[in-house]
Amino acid sequence: MRRKLWCVVTVALTVLATAGIAAAANGGFTPEFAHSPNAHRTNTAYWVVLAFTSVIFVAVEGALVLFIWKYRSRGRARTDDGSQVHGHTRLEVIWTVIPVVILAVIGIVIFYELPAISDAPAAANPVRITVEGHQFYWQFDYPNGSRSINDLHVPAGQVVLLTVRSYDVVHSWWIPQLGGKIQAIPGRTNHTWFKADRAGTYYGQCAEFCGLYHEAMRARVIASTDAEFHTYVSSTAAGELGRAEFQGVCATCHGMQGQGGYGPNLSQNSQLTQKTGLTDIVRNGRGKMPPVGDSWTNAQLNALLQYAKSHVYKGASASGG
Ligand code: CUA
């Protein structure tokens, strides 16, 4: 009797500990807390599937442990056969019907949730933004023509329609709190959307292995009031572009101060201060450096030039750098 109790207690504690670790948000296996209607629906689908699989897991593993204990050898010879059982129609019908019902319920829930995950709700004035994946940064284009790198600014509480493209290889746009992944594929245009339920900063990461600095391809969505959003796109964005380009693109390999890293030190490279030299290298690349700014506008190049002159270039070294 005592052994039976120990057995049950051990199994129960193991199940609880495992479930606790698995369900612990932020670092566990459960989804991020949703802040957009499509993310809510993705999470609902996750929890429905988890509920069924948890019950099945506990039932199957519980039966396994119970049978191991109940039908242990008890001193019988190893060669002894168990009792032979043939056909049990009722049991067979039950173990066929139950899984069919479970799969049907999961299927119904998923097909009910799916349209509102992928299709944006009708909105009077949705904000349309183009997201372009580059090795190794995200570039955002706003309706008024302004551009930002890695930080996407949006108004909270409004439907944001994203047109997702890639400039080079396959990337995957993913801000977990604002909905599921969508791939950025060269030569193809994908669409997704979100509606941030409150002002705040939402973090994401390119979710498709896209090269050496895939892990550096982070993104933030900064949701603010409508007024703050309009201030950002009409004036702030242009002023911040040079810094965003350097920190979001160049710094990945050359360090935040241009001090060097995977790529060489830039702080004493006078090419940084000349428009033609800078344009040539970001447009065409050199050696291991990809043409990161191949698609950049003249305004973008000027912004980078200004930032590099005032914040990165520290003067030629004695040896001529
Ligand atoms: Cu872009 Cu991984």
DSSP 8-class letter at 266: -
136 Cα–ligand 1 center, Å? 6
Task: Using the atom order of ligand 1, give the atom closest to the CA of residue 171.
Answer: 1
211 Cα–ligand 1 center, Å? 7
Question: Is-contact 142 235, C-beta < 8 A?
Answer: no
Residue nearest to atom 1 of ligand 1 (CA): 171
155 Cα–ligand 1 center, Å? 26
- What tokens were used for 279? 């344009």
At 265 the three-state DSSP class reads coil
Task: Using the atom order of ligand 1, give the atom closest to the CA of residue 209.
Answer: 2
Read off φ and ψ for residue 256, nearest 5 degrees. -60, -30
CB-CB neighbours of 120 under 10 Å: 18
In the chain, the amino acid numbered 222 is I
Task: Using the atom order of ligand 1, give the atom closest to the CA of residue 214.
Answer: 2
Alpha helices in the chain (DSSP H): 2-23, 37-70, 89-118, 226-231, 237-245, 251-254, 275-284, 298-307
> Cα(312)–Cα(298) distance, rounded to whole angstroms?
20
> Cα(196)–Cα(224) distance, rounded to whole angstroms?
9
Q: For tokens 């390119």, name the residue.
A: 206
Amino acid 96: pLDDT: 95
183 Cα–ligand 1 center, Å? 10
Written as tens digits, the pLDDT of the chain (321 aa) is: 677 778 777 877 787 777 776 666 555 678 888 999 999 999 999 999 999 999 999 999 999 999 999 988 888 888 888 788 888 899 999 999 999 999 999 999 999 888 888 888 888 889 999 999 998 899 999 999 899 999 999 999 999 999 999 998 999 999 999 988 999 999 999 999 999 999 999 999 999 999 888 998 999 999 999 999 999 999 888 888 888 888 888 888 888 888 888 888 888 887 778 888 888 888 888 888 888 888 888 888 888 888 888 888 777 654 444
Task: Using the atom order of ligand 1, give the atom closest to the CA of residue 169.
Answer: 1
CA dihedral 251, 257, 263, 264 (to 10 degrees): 160
Instruction: Give the pTM.
Output: 0.79
Task: Using the atom order of ligand 1, give the atom closest to the CA of residue 217.
Answer: 1
Amino acid 293: pLDDT: 84
210 Cα–ligand 1 center, Å? 4
Task: Using the atom order of ligand 1, give the atom closest to the CA of residue 136.
Answer: 1
160 Cα–ligand 1 center, Å? 22
252 Cα–ligand 1 center, Å? 13
214 Cα–ligand 1 center, Å? 4
Ligand 1 pocket residues where CB is under 6 Å: 133, 136, 171, 206, 208-210, 214, 217
User: Could you tell me which residues come within 8 angstroms of residue 35 by beta carbon, excluding any fewer than 6 positions away?
Assistant: 177, 178, 196, 197, 198, 200, 202
Amino acid 321: pLDDT: 41
Task: Using the atom order of ligand 1, give the atom closest to the CA of residue 184.
Answer: 1
Longest dimension (CA), the chain: 91
